[in-house]
Structure formats: C-alpha cells, structure tokens
C-alpha cells in the first residue's frame, strides 16, 4: 500500500482527502490511500512518519508551510527561493520539500488575468503568500504585502490601517489577493479588513480560500462591481503537481 496524506492544524476545512480519494477511485489505484494527519505541533511530524512507514508523500497546510522546513533533508531549488513548503516527497527515508502552490496559483492567475498585469495587494504574509509573491514576480506584477502590523525597514509591507487611511493604495492597486484563511468554513462571516467602500469595477479579487465557494470578501467586493475568483482551480492544479512529484 502506498500512503499519502496531509499535515496541518486544523484540517476540518481540507479538500485534499476527498480529492485524492476520488482520484484513486476514478483511476483504479487500489494500492493508494490518502489520510489526514492533524497535528497541533510540528514536532509531532516524526510521530506521524514513524507510525506510517508506507508514507511516500505529504501535503502541508496551515500553519506548517514554514515550520516544516527544518525537518526536511533537501529543498527543491525553486522551493528554496519561495521559502515555504506545501509538498513533501519521502524517498529512501529522506524528506524532500517542494512548493506546488506556486505552480497552481501562477497557472490559474495567468489564465484569469489574460494579458492584464494590474498592481497587486497581497493580503497576509504567511506561507501561502510566499508562493504567491514568487508567482507575481515571475508574471511581472508589482505588489505590496498587507499585514496587521508594519515591519520596520520593509517598504513592501503596508498595514490594513494604511489601506483605510491612504485611499490611493486601493485606487492604484487593482488586484487584491487573499492568502489568509480568514473567511474559511466555519467562520464564513469574517473578512480581511479591506476598505470595501474604496473598491469599484476596476478591481479584481483572487481569494485562495475555496470553502465556502463564495466567501464573505468575495461577496463584498462583487457587490461593489469587482471581478472575483476563489482558490478551487489553484487547489486542483497544485494537487496534480504534487501527484507528479510523488511519482517522478
């Protein structure tokens, strides 16, 4: 039996088990299984590995995309540049780190934007934002990170308060990308602190959240005339990239 799975905390929102289980059924892969490994501390990764010697691949989700790196034996060069891991290949006892969020997001965003290259505001500075930032750089899109707190000496980070106080930021940056988990089921009524009164039909929102299908921030921006998209297509693309890595 070949085992695959997902580590993170919590995992009640995850689509991965359903996606891969359906894939295995559809493709007649009776020798493959995908499980969820909900761990409340990254130190418990070793327990998961010891208890499941058949594991050949893991996905990594919030909050461990950065924390898992010290546990890995090697990073894919592209993943090293991003600085976050969402896929682990287990080969001959070695843990090899990759980032398929980058590939999934880049392909999905590029197709959605067509030839447009609007300046972007990236909500959040966690693991998912690292892959998004690398994809934006490769697409030639300038961006700013948006965080609750300012970072001294870092002029690429602005605060949510600055978005409210400096209306020109929202006026000039027409692509908004939510890389935070805010609005994910079951807390579906929550939104990042975007000044929606400054949003109009020039704006586009790409929300990496996919559950629910229409998040509160998507509803709020669509009501102001913005074009919106959730992260489900990205999830499918990154999952297939993970599968390719595990079987390469």
The catalytic residues are 65
Contact 206, 235 (CB under 8 A): no
Of 136, 126, 19, which is closest to residue 83 (Cα–Cα)? 126
Q: What distances in angstroms separate CA 109 from CA 12, 103, 118, 177, 216, one per listed residue?
A: 26, 10, 12, 10, 20
8 φ, ψ (degrees, to nearest 5) = 170, 180
Torsion (CA) 64, 65, 66, 67 in degrees, nearest 10: 30
**C-alpha 84, offset from chain centre:** 10
Q: In what order do the strands lie in the sheet with 143-147?
A: 157-159, 143-147, 120-123, 175-178, 204-207, 227-229
Dihedral sign from CA coordinates of 180, 72, 241, 118? positive
Contact 7, 58 (CB under 8 A): yes
Dihedral sign from CA coordinates of 87, 89, 93, 95? negative
Residue ranges with strand state E in the chain: 2-8, 32-38, 55-60, 74-75, 87-91, 94-98, 120-123, 143-147, 157-159, 175-178, 204-207, 227-229
């Amino acid at each position: 039996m070949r085992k695959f799975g997902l580590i993170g905390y919590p995992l009640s929102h995850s689509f991965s088990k359903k996606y891969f289980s359906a894939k295995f059924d559809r493709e007649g892969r009776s020798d493959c299984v995908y499980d969820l490994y909900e761990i409340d501390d990254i130190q418990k990764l070793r327990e998961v590995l010891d208890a499941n010697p058949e594991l050949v691949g893991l996905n990594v989700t919030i909050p461990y995309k950065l924390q898992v790196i010290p546990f890995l034996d090697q990073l894919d060069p592209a993943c090293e540049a991003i600085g976050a891991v969402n896929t682990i290949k287990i080969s001959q006892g070695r843990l090899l780190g990759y980032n398929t969020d980058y590939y999934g997001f880049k392909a999905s965003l590029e197709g959605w934007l067509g030839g447009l290259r609007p300046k972007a505001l990236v909500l959040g500075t966690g693991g998912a934002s690292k892959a998004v930032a690398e994809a934006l750089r490769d697409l030639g899109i300038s961006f700013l990170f948006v965080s609750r707190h300012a970072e001294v000496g870092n002029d690429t980070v602005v605060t949510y308060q600055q978005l409210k106080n400096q209306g020109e930021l929202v006026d000039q940056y027409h692509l908004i990308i939510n890389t935070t988990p805010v609005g994910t089921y079951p807390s579906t009524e929550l939104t990042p602190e975007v000044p929606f009164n400054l949003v109009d039909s020039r704006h586009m929102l790409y929300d990496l959240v996919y559950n629910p299908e229409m998040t509160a921030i998507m509803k709020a921006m669509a009501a102001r005339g913005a074009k919106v998209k959730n992260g489900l297509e990205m999830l499918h693309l990154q999952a297939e990239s993970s599968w390719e890595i595990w079987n390469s």
